[in-house]
Structure 1
Amino acid sequence: MQGYQHPSKIAPFDEWVTDLRKNFINGEWVEGKSKRKYNIKDPYDHSNVATIGLANLEQIKDAYASAKSSQKDWAKSTPEQRKEVLKKALQYIENHKENIIQLIIRETGGTILKAEFEYAMAIGDIKDSINMVDEIYVPKDYPTLSPNKVSRVYKLPLGVITSITPFNFPFNLGTRTVFPAIALGNCVVHKPDIQVGLIGGQVFSKAFEEAGLLPGVYNSILTDRQESGDEFLTNPHSAFISFTGSTPVGKHIGKIAGEHLKQVALELGGNNPLVVLGDADVEQAVKIAIFSKFLHSGQICAITNRIIVHSDIYDEFVSKFVDRVKTLKVGDPKDPTTNIGPIINEYQADKVMNFVRKAKEEGLQEILQGKRDGNLISPFIFVDVPNDATLACSELFGPIAQIICAKSDEEAIALANNTEFGLSASIITSNLERGEQLALEIESGMTHVNDISALAEGNAPFGGVKQSGIGRFGYEWVVEEFTTTKWVTIQKEPLDYPF
């Protein structure tokens, strides 16, 4: 493994981006062979961030073949070797922080606050992965009924892991999969969403290249469904599929994976409730609800989708919520005073506006009318929304707030649970003990008392129930996901057998 060269000078942003525009397969940067080009656009001003050549099916198969070929050697590497590579990759990412922050903003349309938040979470993931190195090949002894026998259980690398990540938090959602997988002795074939392909995959390629990672251990493919088909799901060299994205796509992946007996971790859609109980501090509840709804323009799987408020404080909450939302600044995400940036693309912006149109057709009461300017959408607020309205049953992924009135705390919890999804939730209350008890009653993988729904901690399980997914991310849980368990016994002295 080659030594890491600390850069004496960080390349300017445009020059640095130029180095990331190719596919990374078997340790080499290669042009896509599909003969199709893709322009990665800044969602705010539609300027061209980069033009890339898409990989074809043959190159995807090559990536899996190289990963399979390298996996046994990588699995045999020492903990010290794996830690050295990961630490050097981390150093690269820390050295290039300013360029990475800028690229998050340019590709995702996220604000500076969102970019800083995403970067910090990613750094935490990488540091956690360094500690995961020691989780494999370490035996745990168990009691046995047989005389003079040792019974041991090992965690071993799974093999080749497929990683597929979305457009909204591509840097962080990449680090939470790619780095633990490699730390645990696996190889990775990674497919970031093409719209954010550089920050979602190729920055890691550069970091691992600079760190001297064994060729083939990490491969990152810039392509689309037209070129790949289901190859990322069906390739025989992959033992595990990690996917973050929509529920319909997750169901398709689950079906294909089941047919091929592949393991999966699927973090899917959400219809996350923020429940404001009757004893809540209204001022604080409004602050939490606004940040929990409008962070990254609402384009987060765990973002608050429905705000459910007790009738005793409903009118006060609505009034203060609307007044505060009116102060939010919508505009250029590169401006540090901007609170709400653009939706990722025109298609997604159209979907958001279609939800608004449908809400009006259904007669929902619009108390704050937003507007659209290109991919920028200023906040819409609907009140007295029935829990069975299209708006309340859909994952909006945009700056549309809907407020639902509950006659009691019990009804609020029932409304929160009346959805096919179950990713995250929030409860706002002055009674912390009761809040924790009610948190257990909400049907979600995560519930947060007096905080936003879109929380993530590296040492905590992240994932959902019902239609929101299978599996968990987070330190000890991802170790379980990305390893296989093996039982080994050693009979120290001969046994007498009955025949």
Structure 2
Amino acid sequence: MTPYTELNRQFINGKWIDGSTTAEMQNLNPFTGKVIHELPSASTADVDTAFVAAKQACGSWAVTNPLVRRDLLLNAARIISERQEEFIDWLAKEAGSTYIKGVIEVQQAHDILIEAASFPTRMHGRTMASTIDGKESYVYRKPLGVVSLISPWNFPLYLSMRTIAPALAVGNTMVVKPSAESLVTGGTIIAKLLEEAGFPTGVFNVVVGKSDLIGDYFTGHPISKMVSFTGSTSVGRGIGRIAGENAKKSALELGGNNAFIVLDDADVDQAVAGAIFGRFLHQGQVCMATNRILIHQSIYEEFKTKFVAHARQLPYGDPTDKQTIIGPLIDNKAILRIQSMIDESIKQGAVVETGNLVQGNVLQPTVLSGMTIDMPIFKDEIFGPAVGIMSFATDEEAIALANATDYGLSGALHTRDVYRGMKLARTVETGMIHINDQSDNDEVHAPFGGEKLSGTGRFGGDFILEEMTTVQWVSVAHEPRQYPF
């Protein structure tokens, strides 16, 4: 298949065009530091053009035969599988994805397209009894209209597609603003995919621009009925504020500081394997990543010894090498931020068991013992290949530690007593938690979302279908009604 081209341009109303400002953007390879693309940023006028195109396409797309929408999504799923290696290559050179992570991400993007292909025939309304004699009521489920998406850089393909596929499936049209760090994998390559799949003109649009030029304008655009955002809590708060001021819906999947609890009766080897994957997939740059490992004091030393030994053996370096597990962080700012967290934690008494060495934008897998609740590695989301471990004495202490942050996205708990685990899991203040597994789970039909400062709304299955639609009450009077005046 011929590789996609023009990926450094805007896709607006079915046309590939350049941004209309003189402000230049650079798309950098996080491992080599080389420039992949240079391109002019979109302007607010470009944003307007994209939203107007989406609005003009709304009416016809909303009433398109549901089987036509289904088949277009299935066509996109087929194409993404056929182009898997092309997508994986772009994820490596733009987002620093290892091959394993790329395979996982492309498969997830494929799966959400398949799941969403069932949505056009799952938009169920209902009939309702009326309290007025001679009347009946109908409730119709409808698309919102135009949905906007601000996509992240860490899992850009899948985390964009989990909004895009459901939104289009139920009859919405879209405008997407991808992260500048992943403008291809979070935006323009998806536009190419949907264009090849046959989606009508104006249904899907991508504007690539600097946030300081178009960010707030994009978020608050009056044509948009909903904004979907995945990213940091600090940015998400601002997006939620702008959405609220403009009376539009928002789905915000924000930061995570996820606890991994190992009870005294756990299978230690299985827990170690889960914690390794949960922490180090994509260098830990995952909102669901295991951020704090809490281990019962009776098995603390055994767990620590095995976990450190496993972490020390993880291959790191070039993400295009299929053996690599730990690739580069997204940029040098991320390296400096994580080093600062580690340094401050060491000052407060943490001990580096392995790692803490940097080569370019690659940080070796790093494990710190002696973690306490006052340390940055406990309090803050690390978003990198470093993790702290600490012990606890009782189940009650473990739950208190797990709940001792402002975040509540995901988590994991290991025990041989499933019912004990389920009872404790339900007391953890988190949107998701996985017993005898790790925190980094996302199934396209299950409710994905957080509590506290980890966001609002839910992705996945019927839950995202609800987010992407609205309902209209239509009542019918079959006989004259008697009014009091």
TM-score range, shorter chain: over 0.9
Shift of 1:39: 2.5
Scaled by the length of structure 2, what TM-score is found?
0.97
Could you tell me which residue of structure 1 aligns to residue 252 of structure 2?
266
Could you tell me which residue of structure 2 aligns to residue 387 of structure 1?
373
Could you tell me which residue of structure 2 aligns to residue 162 of structure 1?
148
Could you tell me which residue of structure 2 aligns to residue 6 of structure 1?
none
Name the CA distance, whole Å, in 2 between partners of 1:309 and 1:420: 21
Residue pair 2:368, 2:389 contacting (<8 A) in 1 also: yes
Residue pair 2:410, 2:440 contacting (<8 A) in 1 also: yes
Shift of 1:382: 1.1
Shift of 1:135: 3.2
Work out whether 1:134 is the aligned partner of 2:124: no
Aligned equivalent of 2:334, options 340, 348, 353: 348
3-state DSSP of counterpart to 1:152: strand
Shift of 1:94: 2.2
Work out whether 1:428 is the aligned partner of 2:410: no
Work out whether 1:59 is the aligned partner of 2:50: no
Could you tell me which residue of structure 2 aligns to residue 26 of structure 1?
13
Name the CA distance, whole Å, in 2 between partners of 1:403 and 1:211: 47
Q: Which moved more, 1:279-288 or 1:489-498?
A: 489-498
Q: Which moved more, 1:384-393 or 1:358-367?
A: 358-367
Aligned equivalent of 1:460, options 442, 446, 459: 446
Work out whether 1:495 is the aligned partner of 2:481: yes
Could you tell me which residue of structure 2 aligns to residue 48 of structure 1?
35
Residue pair 1:302, 1:454 contacting (<8 A) in 2 also: yes
Residue pair 1:463, 1:470 contacting (<8 A) in 2 also: yes
Could you tell me which residue of structure 2 aligns to residue 311 of structure 1?
297
Aligned equivalent of 2:2, options 11, 14, 20: 11
**Counterpart residue type for residue 42 of structure 1:** N
Work out whether 1:275 is the aligned partner of 2:257: no
For the structure 1 residues 191 and 229, does the alpha-carbon distance in structure 2 shift closer, same or farther, using more than 3 Å as the test?
closer
- Total equivalences in the alignment: 485
Name the CA distance, whole Å, in 2 between partners of 1:179 and 1:490: 34
**Counterpart residue type for residue 253 of structure 2:** E
**Counterpart residue type for residue 74 of structure 2:** K
Aligned equivalent of 1:87, options 65, 69, 74: 74
**Counterpart residue type for residue 63 of structure 2:** K
Cα deviation, 1:2-46, whole Å, max 9, x if unaligned, reads: xxxxxxxx125xxx3x33221100111011111233222221122
Name the CA distance, whole Å, in 2 between partners of 1:254 and 1:369: 38
3-state DSSP of counterpart to 2:476: strand
Work out whether 1:294 is the aligned partner of 2:280: yes
Aligned equivalent of 1:102, options 89, 94, 97: 89
Cα deviation, 1:78-118, whole Å, max 9, x if unaligned, reads: 21222232222223222211101111111111111100001
Could you tell me which residue of structure 2 aligns to residue 195 of structure 1?
181
Could you tell me which residue of structure 1 aligns to residue 130 of structure 2?
144
Work out whether 1:230 is the aligned partner of 2:216: yes
Shift of 1:146: 3.3
Cα deviation, 1:148-174, whole Å, max 9, x if unaligned, reads: 432221111101111011110000011
**Counterpart residue type for residue 403 of structure 1:** I
**Counterpart residue type for residue 258 of structure 1:** G
3-state DSSP of counterpart to 1:230: helix
Shift of 1:175: 0.7
Could you tell me which residue of structure 2 aligns to residue 470 of structure 1?
456
Name the CA distance, whole Å, in 2 between partners of 1:490 and 1:135: 24
Could you tell me which residue of structure 2 aligns to residue 244 of structure 1?
230
Shift of 1:343: 0.3
Could you tell me which residue of structure 1 aligns to residue 65 of structure 2?
78
User: Alignment identity in percent?
Assistant: 39
**Counterpart residue type for residue 11 of structure 1:** T
Q: Which moved more, 1:333-342 or 1:363-372?
A: 363-372
Shift of 1:282: 1.0
Could you tell me which residue of structure 2 aligns to residue 366 of structure 1?
352
Name the CA distance, whole Å, in 1 between partners of 2:482 and 2:72: 50
Could you tell me which residue of structure 2 aligns to residue 404 of structure 1?
390
Name the CA distance, whole Å, in 1 between partners of 2:478 and 2:363: 71
Cα deviation, 1:114-148, whole Å, max 9, x if unaligned, reads: 00001111111001111111234x43112333344
Gaps of 5+ in 2: none
**Counterpart residue type for residue 66 of structure 2:** P
3-state DSSP of counterpart to 1:480: helix
Name the CA distance, whole Å, in 1 between partners of 2:119 and 2:52: 26
Work out whether 1:357 is the aligned partner of 2:343: yes
Name the CA distance, whole Å, in 2 between partners of 1:234 and 1:358: 38
Cα deviation, 1:315-342, whole Å, max 9, x if unaligned, reads: 1111111111111111111111111111
Q: Which moved more, 1:444-453 or 1:353-362?
A: 353-362
Could you tell me which residue of structure 2 aligns to residue 5 of structure 1?
none
Name the CA distance, whole Å, in 2 between partners of 1:229 and 1:38: 14
Shift of 1:284: 1.0
RMSD of Structure 2 on Structure 1 (CA): 1.4
Aligned equivalent of 1:111, options 98, 106, 109: 98
Name the CA distance, whole Å, in 1 between partners of 2:284 and 2:81: 28
Name the CA distance, whole Å, in 2 between partners of 1:356 and 1:498: 73
Name the CA distance, whole Å, in 2 between partners of 1:229 and 1:475: 29
3-state DSSP of counterpart to 1:318: helix
Aligned equivalent of 1:178, options 154, 164, 176: 164
Name the CA distance, whole Å, in 2 between partners of 1:474 and 1:376: 33
Scaled by the length of structure 1, what TM-score is found?
0.95
Could you tell me which residue of structure 2 aligns to residue 220 of structure 1?
206
